[in-house]
Amino acid sequence: MVGNNPAKLAAAKNYLSNLGTVNVHQLNLLDATAVADYANRLSQQSHDYLVMLPVYFHPTPSLTTRLKNMTAMLDSTKPPS
């Protein structure tokens, strides 16, 4: 997780803003941290995963939970190194 790194949180908000699917002002610190962690996982994965982003990135109370679940899914689909 990115913790309280302001640069990474800002980068996560910018990442979502560029997608145009979420109001970044509605993200709290926990959400932004989860977003940054998920974005970091995505950067290590196939670009096919980017197709899922507009479906999932809508501001809801469960945003952090869904991001954590998606991060776990990405981790579980990593090929052996």
Question: If you write DSSP's letter for every residue of 25-72 in order, what string do you get?
Answer: GG--HHHHHHHHHHHHHHHTS-GGGGGGHHHH-S--TTHHHHHHHHHH
Domain count along the chain: 1
| Sign of torsion over alpha carbons 71, 46, 8, 31 | negative
Tell me, yes or no, whether 33 lies in a domain.
Answer: yes
For the record, the structure tokens of 46 come out as: 């196939």
Q: What is the structure's pLDDT at 56?
A: 45
Tell me, yes or no, whether 1 lies in a domain.
Answer: no
Q: What is the residue whose two structure tokens read 């939970």?
A: 65
Tell me, yes or no, whether 18 lies in a domain.
Answer: yes
Q: What is the structure's pLDDT at 44?
A: 62
pLDDT tens string, the chain, 81 residues long: the values are: 444 556 666 666 666 666 555 555 555 555 666 666 766 666 665 544 444 444 344 445 566 676 677 667 766 666 555
Q: What is the structure's pLDDT at 49?
A: 44
Domain assignment of residue 51, given as a range: 6-76
